[in-house]
Amino acid sequence: MNQNIVKRNDLLAQTVIKGLKSRNMNGYYAHDKEEALKMALEMIEEGSSVTMGGAMSAHEIGLVEALKNGNYNFIDRDAMEDKRAAMLAAYDADVFLASCNAMTQDGVLVNIDGNANRVSAIAQGPKKVLFIVGMNKICDDVDGAMKRARSVAAVTNVQRFGLSTPCTKTGTCMNCKSPDTICCQFLITRFSRHAGRINVILVNDNLGF
């Protein structure tokens, strides 16, 4: 990564962490993926039940593989036939791993969901939520974050899932009501009532989309 961008991210991350603190959420900064993995594993006690909601960023830093191979009760919803049981187990997990579709520089997290299993578990249920967020997700404000979440993250996720929506033909959000839309529920996390529940590791890298 260009050294000027590295420096910019180093500075911006401190602003984001300050914003998170003002919202009763914890922020941490990792200089690279390896440091992010080490930090995340230090935050997850061995023996914990852990699950996740489609967090590409957690895969990209090697966290999912480390948890599957480590001394954890990893609830792998992709491997479970009973998706409803997987969803209900997630609400009672010790740790829920997530990324966000976008985040503001003052610490607001924005997420869009189709089935809402991810946004509902972020909102309540799991004792701790651990976000892994690349600095590429940071936007100026909530408007910018909503635009990123819809025009970048959602459009890319639709391609990933092979769904049939207008954005797969145009490459940008067409504000559809297609039966295949994944833009059903929007969660803006601006404050946590519960100290220590929401934790964000910002990573100086481009993670997810």
Q: Contact between 55 and ligand SF4 (CB under 6 A)?
A: no
- Burial code (b: 16+ CB inside 10 Å, e: under 16) for 82-106 equals eeeebbebbeebbbbbbbbbbbbbb
Q: Burial level of 25, CB count in 10 A (0-12/13-18/19+)? A: buried
d(CA 34, CA 58): 12
Least CB distance from residue 109 to ligand SF4, whole Å?
A: 19
Q: Work out which of 87, 155, 198, 203 binds ligand SF4, going by CB under 6 A.
A: 155
One residue of 10, 176, 194, 196 binding ligand SF4 per CB under 6 A:
176
In the list 167, 198, 202, 203, the residue contacting ligand SF4 (rule: CB under 6 A) is 167
From 1-9, 30-38, 89-97, 159-167, give the range in contact with ligand SF4 by CB under 6 A: 159-167
* CA–CA distance, 32 with 167 (Å, rounded to integer): 32
| Rg from Cα positions in the chain | 16
Question: Can residue 138 be called a binding residue for ligand SF4 (CB under 6 A)?
Answer: no
Check binding of 174 to ligand SF4 (CB under 6 A): yes
Q: Check binding of 173 to ligand SF4 (CB under 6 A).
A: yes
Calpha distance 153→209 (Å, rounded): 5
183 binds ligand SF4 (CB under 6 A): yes
Q: Is 154 in the site for ligand SF4 (CB under 6 A)?
A: yes
Which residues in this chain contact ligand SF4 in the complex, by CB under 6 A? 150, 154-155, 158, 165-167, 173-176, 178, 181-183
